[in-house]
């Protein structure tokens, strides 16, 4: 059992990346992201939807198409709103939204799901959900006892936005996870609007 865990752990260390929002549809890169972030970043994300952020800044910096001020790799891995404009979810204040995560390789750490202001990359209000520690624990994952609500959970759209996030692209719901031992960050974004009531 221990040797199996060790083998799996070494596999995990070699494999790329490890999680993304599988529902509702997450931002995926297209032409706008290529213009902002360059081809290399886009190729990395297309090759592996679960890939982490660390490593991307170095990759991007070598790419002539990289414009750091437009491509914010620490928000949605740099994937731009324009590439997901067809998938904007219209939510109502107080609406309960189910979110599913495809978590392919665990790295124990912390995570949260938050409304993020895309201009400032700051969380709006409090996280909708947060796991201060113990998220994606290898022992639970490989023991098949990972709590189901880490990968299939509901968030409630805040009732306090008062017109914020009414415009598509202004805010995202971002799932953010940092594997402490692996030192890897995962970011996946849902585009949405909330009508002012
Ligand atoms: Cu890893």
C-alpha 109 to ligand 1 mean position (Å): 12
Percent of the chain at pLDDT above 90? 89
The Cα–Cα gap between 63 and 192 comes to 31
Average pLDDT over residues 20-36: 98
pLDDT band at 10 (very low <50, low <70, confident <90, very high): very low
Burial of 98 (0-12, 13-18, 19+ CB in 10 A): exposed
C-alpha 165 to ligand 1 mean position (Å): 33
C-alpha 126 to ligand 1 mean position (Å): 28
Region of poorest pLDDT, from 13-22, 48-57, 87-96:
13-22
C-alpha 91 to ligand 1 mean position (Å): 33
Dihedral in degrees, nearest 10, Cα atoms 28, 122, 101, 153: -140
Residues around ion ligand 1, judged by CB within 5 A, are 182
- List CB contacts of 22: < 8 A, sequence separation 6 or more: 100, 101, 102
Give tens-digit pLDDT for 32-82. Answer: 999 999 999 999 999 999 999 999 999 999 999 999 999 999 999 999 999
Give tens-digit pLDDT for 98-116. Answer: 999 999 999 999 999 999 9
Would you list the domain boundaries of the chain? Answer: 2-194
**pLDDT reading at 4 higher than 90:** no
Task: Enter the tokens of residue 31.
Answer: 């032409």
C-alpha 97 to ligand 1 mean position (Å): 28
pLDDT of residue 135: 98
C-alpha 90 to ligand 1 mean position (Å): 34
Fold held by 2-194? Coagulation Factor XIII; Chain A, domain 1 (2.70.50)
Give tens-digit pLDDT for 136-189. Answer: 999 999 999 999 999 999 999 999 999 999 999 999 999 999 999 999 999 999
């Amino acid at each position: 059992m221990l040797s199996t865990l060790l083998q799996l752990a070494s596999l995990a260390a070699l494999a790329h990346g490890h999680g993304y929002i599988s529902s509702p549809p997450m931002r995926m890169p297209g032409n706008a992201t290529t213009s902002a972030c360059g081809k290399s970043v886009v190729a990395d994300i297309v090759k592996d939807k679960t890939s982490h952020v660390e490593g991307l800044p170095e990759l991007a910096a070598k790419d002539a198409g990289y414009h750091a001020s437009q491509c914010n790799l620490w928000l949605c891995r740099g994937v731009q709103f324009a590439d997901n404009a067809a998938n904007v979810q219209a939510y109502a204040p107080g609406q309960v939204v189910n979110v599913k995560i495809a978590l392919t390789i665990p790295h124990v750490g912390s995570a949260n799901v938050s409304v993020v202001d895309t201009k400032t990359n700051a969380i709006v209000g409090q996280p909708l959900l947060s796991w201060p520690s113990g998220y994606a624990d290898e022992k639970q994952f490989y023991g098949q006892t990972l709590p189901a609500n880490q990968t299939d959970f509901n968030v409630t759209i805040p009732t306090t936005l008062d017109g914020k996030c009414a415009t598509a692209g202004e805010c995202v719901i971002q799932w953010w996870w940092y594997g402490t031992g692996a030192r890897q960050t995962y970011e996946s974004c849902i585009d949405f609007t909330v009508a002012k009531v």
